[in-house]
A and B are shown apart, each in its own frame.
Chain A
Amino acid sequence: MNLAEFTWGLPPREKLESYRIWDSYFTPSLGHPGKDGFSGIIDDMERARRAVELGRFEKLCFFPHVGIGTTTDADFETLVRMKPELVLKPIEHWPDRMLGMIQINANDTQASLDALDQWLRDGPMLGVYFAGSGPGALPCSHPNIPPLVERISELKGVIMQHTWFVTGGNPGQGMSTPTELAELASRFPDQMFICAHAGGEWEKGIRAVSDSPNVLIETSGFDATAGFIEMAVRELGPERIIFGSHLPTRSLGTELSKVTTAEIGEDAKQKILGENYRRLLGMA
């Protein structure tokens, strides 16, 4: 056996670079950034460094807490309100790679609206993340959500909505389904939404959003079940699929292989791995 011929499942480095991979779902220390406001995120970024470099990622988008009650740690919430510059530490750590979208507290709309002005209107954040669990999470069918969406639309922000169809086990409070997201999206036809995790149970998730042209699906968060991307491309078209890594709690292997090994054209892979996301962010 000629070991020099081994590829080990990764495309060649040059091919990966040609994809210009932008990761829409980078989750270092997603639930809590660390007592000091940032070191947990930095540690997890370093934990993911090897995967990020192996995958030749150009950009990664993380979801910071900005002191509006999206964690259960009152000390942290106070700290980051007093020192908002802490939110930017991860961007400073990898200044050429990192993008951000703030976590929204759907249970506190006024604080969230204020945070939208502070972080989207005034920059540098590009959108918002609606979580599926934690103190800031509500199903996206909740009446608190539309006023937030209206303001996000005014600011031309991108919305990443965590979604799952949970067939077994216990769905958490605050969880949204792709069906609920499709309903919300129908009320805001000019706003683009990203359906994170394609609903997990992706065969249902893809069906739920297929008639919603302003909803794109994100690819991470579930095992590398074969056939996902093929169905998504067939039903939605490659323009409505966005790559996410969920690193470091998921892996490069699980998440990148969904796209790179799919039986779809190279043009479609190019779109999914970066082009679509850049277009959505207005950074194409």
Chain B
Amino acid sequence: MLRGQMAEAADDAGNFEGIIDSNVSLFHWPFRRLPLDKTEKLVAKLRSLGVTKALAGSFEGVFHRDLASANARLADECARYPELTPIGSVSPSLPGWERDLDRCASKWRMPGIRLHPSQQGYALDSTLFSRLLARAAEAGVFVQLAVTLEDVRTQPALVVKPDVDLAPLADAMAKAPAAKVQLLNLRPRGSELKSLATIPNLYFDTARADGTDGVASLLAVAGPERVVFGSHAPFLIPEAALIRVHESALDPNSLRTLLRGNAEGLLS
């Protein structure tokens, strides 16, 4: 039973301090109302599941162009809940993106920023992207890169966006070797995952690691030290990601690092 697994993980760790969810978003998804799209309700749900910290981006940060305003609202909202750590959005396709990044790092003390290349119209082989990685590393913030927000097959016709092409990522990260990058919402697949797993300082989340043994397979290929629990709530049902961890029958050490330790490493 997972309860048993968790008890073992806690014993190994001494005092288990709860789960860190590296992938949640606040405010309204523009194409449907989500059952947990009110922050209070989302936080209550996360608490009920044992999540004590959540790295929160914002749907506004995907679709708005005034990202300073969106990030300010995100910071204000997160300040109301001790569990929430704001992760601001930055887009190198927008003039003045450096100012957005600096505000995230300095003004709001955000530990990371979130990118949405597909929705915001740039590719990973652009010079701007590698410059952003370097600047993020200088500022001491990690970078979360949303590979997608939704399966391309089910997206609203208004905004059908393919997954981000990750082929140029290795070269871009080689130009900014101090940058730490976490891929969000990747559907891990065979040869692509094997290739990505060779990139230093690259981390993964669990939000779309589907299949009954999907999380275990991801850990086996990427390495247990590089997979960070993430649910993509409230767009996806947060229990889905948690039950998948349970299904994967991980050993206590892997469970502990997946659910908390690796996120702490990313945040440090």
Contacts and interface: CB of A to CB of B under 8 A. Distances in A.
The interface size bin for chain A is 35 or more
Contacts of A50: 212, 247, 249
A249 B241 CA distance: 15
Best-buried of B2, B6, B32, B243 by chain A (most CB within 10 Å): B243
Contact of A8 (B52, B151, B210, B246): B246
A3 interface: yes
A223 to B, nearest CB: 6
A249 B212 CA distance: 6
B208 interface: yes
B208 to A, nearest CB: 6
A167 B246 contact: no
B234 interface: yes
Interface string A218-234: 00001111110010000
Contact of B157 (A3, A164, A167): A167
A200 B35 contact: no
A8 B240 CA distance: 10
A8 B3 contact: yes
Interface string B27-53: 000001111100000000000111010
A36 B83 CA distance: 53
A226 B35 contact: yes
Contacts of B241: 253
B153 A224 contact: no
B49 A8 contact: yes
Given A6-B3, A200-B153, A257-B243, A168 B237 contact: no
B239 A253 contact: yes
Nearest to B243: A253
Nearest to B15: A1
A250 B162 CA distance: 21
Interface in B128-178: 150-157, 160-162
A33 to B, nearest CB: 18
B17 A254 contact: no
Nearest to A245: B212
Interface stretch (A122-130, A235-243, A258-266): A258-266
A48 interface: yes
B157 A51 contact: no
Best-buried of B48, B151, B237, B249 by chain A (most CB within 10 Å): B237
Contact of B208 (A4, A48, A202, A223): A223
| A-B complex: 3 closest residue pairs judged by Cβ atoms | A9-B239, A253-B243, A253-B244
